[in-house]
């Protein structure tokens, strides 16, 4: 089958690989350019809401998700001081029935590997750090730090919050600091036998929050400890977290939390930033996806699911035929010998690509802006202890409702029809 378009994806994280898979499934020739010397994903656990899992299941990944992810049976809010369960929200089958797809907690590396192994061999090119790109009438030219170059009909920036593509399209921006940072890590569950391997746990104290959830079949627990600290401003996924400071932050908490903290052998600390929503994501044959388009705080647990939604909508919008403009000076012989390049060089095809990217942005940007801004005050931040020091349970329903509209969303439902060839 002749590829419809040559598409370059900059960034080999989960968003970039999801885009590559969605576009490959539509028959495009995709190359993913990753700056690291090898393709691998660090990090800990993450949330995959029904809005993300329903799309991955359609892409044929349902069986592997069930094998590698955990479907929490419930979510519990527990008292920070004495540790008792204040309220439990059933999940599992109830959420499957409510939202039409499973909710998973899964290790980031497991999902990353799953996506990478689903791509055709040779799709990913590691050791390619993008320095600049230029768009011409014939496509987009990419220039990398090692002196190599590449050409494509479409460029997708999936290179994170510090995106080179975003900076080129939209200019420099200012990171918005939340005043908080998060300690993150993974603990083997047999080190904390008092904690369940099938439940999402939340403790909200006077000056910190601890979230714990299972990954890898419940054999490990991911923890995320969110603490206020205006001094810690390092926006890095890999910066080490001081274990003594972590222990001090949770001194005086209940025995389950203190046992968990005592079992931590390694932690990373991440200052929590986002950015103001962009007015535009796309220009010509270039667009953004995932954190490069809409970096958001983690309080809705939607970073990955929103990137997967982006990938699905982008693949739909680029699925329109982009045949050559009959008025363009492209010979029939050239079109027959290099149909993808000939199509992309034609003025009508370039206009069709730009229109497709505008349609993608028109669908996704209003939705992700709402999620992005809602993350600033939502999620477990709504849980606060009462004045007597006990945890308030009145906000549990609002915590769930904060994200229910997001998780019910089907990104492929109601998409605009494709234009005729």
Sign of CA dihedral 243, 193, 188, 382: negative
3-state SS, residue 187: strand
| The two three-digit tokens of residue 110, written as one number | 């497991």
Classify each residue of 72-84 as buried b or exposed e, where b means 16 or more C-beta atoms within 10 Å of its C-beta.
bbbbbbbbbbeee
DSSP state of 271: E
Best CA proximity match to 212, nearest among 112, 80, 306, 304:
80
Q: Which residue of the set 103, 213, 273, 360 is catalytic?
A: 213
CB under 8 Å to 233, separation ≥6 — which residues? 177, 271
Contact (Cβ atoms closer than 8 angstroms) between residue 365 and residue 341: no
- H helix or E strand, kind and range, residue 352: helix 347-374
The 10 Å Cβ neighbour count of residue 36 is 14
Helix axes 14-25, 108-117, angle to 10 degrees: 30
Residue 213 annotated among the catalytic residues of the structure: yes
What's phi and psi for 99, nearest 5 deg?
-110, -10
C-alpha of 6 from chain center: 24
Instruction: Note every long-range contact of 31-34, with CB atoms under 8 Å and residues 24 or more positions apart, other chains counting.
Output: 31/6, 31/7, 31/123, 31/124, 31/125, 31/150, 31/152, 32/119, 32/123, 32/124, 32/125, 33/8, 33/9, 33/125, 33/128, 33/130, 33/142, 33/144, 33/150, 34/124, 34/125, 34/126, 34/127, 34/128
Active site amino acids: 213
């Amino acid at each position: 089958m002749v590829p419809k378009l040559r598409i370059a994806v900059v960034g080999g994280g989960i968003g970039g690989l999801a885009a590559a898979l969605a576009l490959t499934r539509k028959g495009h020739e995709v190359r993913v350019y990753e700056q690291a010397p090898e393709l691998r994903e660090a990090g800990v656990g993450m949330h995959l809401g029904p809005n993300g899992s329903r799309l991955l299941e359609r892409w044929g990944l349902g069986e592997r998700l069930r094998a590698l992810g955990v479907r929490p049976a419930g979510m519990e809010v527990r008292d920070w001081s004495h540790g008792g369960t204040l309220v439990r929200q059933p999940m599992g089958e109830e959420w499957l029935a409510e939202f039409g797809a499973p909710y998973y907690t899964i290790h980031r590396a497991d999902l990353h590997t799953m996506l990478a192994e689903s791509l055709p061999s040779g799709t990913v090119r590691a050791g390619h750090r993008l320095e600049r790109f230029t768009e011409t009438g014939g496509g987009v030219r990419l220039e990398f730090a090692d002196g190599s170059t590449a050409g494509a009909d479409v460029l997708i920036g999936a290179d994170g919050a510090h995106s080179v593509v975003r900076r080129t399209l939209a200019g420099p921006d200012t990171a918005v600091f939340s005043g908080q940072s998060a300690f993150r890590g993974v603990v083997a569950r047999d080190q904390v036998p008092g904690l369940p391997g099938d439940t999402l746990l939340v403790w909200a104290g006077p000056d910190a929050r601890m979230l714990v959830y299972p990954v890898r079949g419940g054999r490990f627990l991911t923890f995320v400890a969110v603490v206020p600290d205006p001094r810690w401003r390092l926006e890095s996924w890999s910066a080490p977290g001081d274990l003594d400071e972590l222990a001090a932050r949770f001194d005086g908490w209940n025995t389950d939390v203190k046992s968990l903290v005592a079992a931590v052998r390694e932690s990373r600390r991440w200052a929590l930033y986002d950015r103001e929503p962009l007015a535009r994501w796309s220009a010509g044959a270039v667009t953004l996806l995932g954190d490069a388009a809409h970096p958001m705080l983690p309080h809705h647990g939607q970073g990955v699911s929103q990137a997967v939604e982006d990938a699905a909508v982008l693949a739909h919008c680029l699925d329109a035929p982009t045949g050559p403009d009959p008025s363009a000076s492209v010979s029939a012989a050239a079109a027959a010998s290099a149909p993808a390049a000939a199509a992309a060089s034609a003025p009508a095809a370039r206009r069709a690509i730009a229109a497709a990217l505008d349609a993608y942005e028109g669908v996704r940007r209003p939705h992700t802006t709402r999620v992005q801004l809602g993350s600033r005050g939502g999620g477990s931040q709504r849980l606060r202890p009462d004045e007597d020091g006990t945890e308030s349970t009145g906000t549990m329903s609002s915590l769930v409702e904060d994200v229910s509209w997001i998780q019910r969303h089907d990104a492929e439902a109601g998409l605009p029809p494709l234009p005729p060839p």
